[in-house]
Structure 1
Amino acid sequence: MNQQDSRNHRAPAKSLWNKKDLLFIAAILLAAGLAFLFFRPQPSESLSRAEISVDGETVMELDLSEDQVLTVDGAGGGYNRIQVRDGAVSVLEASCPDKVCVHTGTVRYPGETIVCLPNRMIVTVIQGGN
């Protein structure tokens, strides 16, 4: 056999993953999924509140355990219709052109926010007592 023939004959390719590697990865993914299910924050409807601010000033606080719909006057003559239902808050309607606040959907966990930049309105879910 000459030198050129020996270069063309390569050893069979070794698999990148073996069975033990795949089982280990599957176990890690399963553990991560279970941890997410058991340790994610749960809303406490009796303690969760929503703070609404316009132009940097807090204009009202809402108890998320009381369903209601109200209109908030924004800066520059705009408005946002806010809905509190089932322990969550959302913007139903807004006078802004882009409607990002409406498309944000519902928020219920402390720290989550809905922002309407044109009307300078921010809804923030906060942890608070009655």
Structure 2
Amino acid sequence: MSTENKNRKMKKKELVMILVILAVSAVLYAGSRILFSKPPAKVEISVDGTVIETLDLNKDTELTVEGWNGGTNHIVIKDGTVHVTEASCPDKVCVNQGTIR
């Protein structure tokens, strides 16, 4: 076998190896994009452990939620964040928590 034939076989093997590496890399990249992509940004609002609303954080919204014993919370969704602006409870823990991203 001549040196030229050996070089051609070696170049073909190298080319095949490069193509296999590129194909595996593409599959792994696509798989990671699918598996680790962020889910749609949503927030669940619950009263006494029961989910009453599921809202999209990408849509600016304001709503008032009625809770236990006639209490209310005014919730604002703006620019992908959510916060309680007003609450009828005396301690205002939810208002003082601030903005959630």
| TM-score category of the 2 structures, normalised to the smaller one | 0.5 to 0.7
Q: CA deviation at 1:45?
A: 9.0
Q: 1:61 matched to which residue of 2?
A: 54
Q: Does 1:106 align with 2:99?
A: yes
**For residues 78-105 of structure 1, what are the alpha-carbon distances to aligned partners after superposition, in whole Å with 9 as ceiling and x for unaligned?**
0000000000000000000011110111
CA separation of 1:68 and 1:45: change in aligned 2, threshold 3 A: farther
Kindly provide the amino acid, as one letter, of the partner of residue 47 in structure 1: P
Note the 1:1-130 alignment, pairs <5 A: 47-108=40-101
Structure-1 separation of matches of 2:74 and 2:80: 17
Two-structure CA RMSD over aligned residues (Å) = 1.8
**For residues 18-47 of structure 1, what are the alpha-carbon distances to aligned partners after superposition, in whole Å with 9 as ceiling and x for unaligned?**
xxxxxxxxxxxxxxxxxxxxxxxxxx9971
The runs of at least 4 aligned residues of structure 1 exceeding 2 Å deviation read none
* Identity in percent: 55
In structure 2, the gaps of 5 or more residues are 1-36
Work out whether residues 46 and 64 of structure 1, in 8 Å CA contact, stay in contact via their aligned partners in 2: no
Query: TM-score normalized by structure 2?
Result: 0.60
Query: TM-score normalized by structure 1?
Result: 0.47
Tell me the secondary structure at the aligned position of residue 95 of structure 2.
helix
In structure 1, the gaps of 5 or more residues are 1-43, 109-130
Structure-1 separation of matches of 2:61 and 2:49: 23
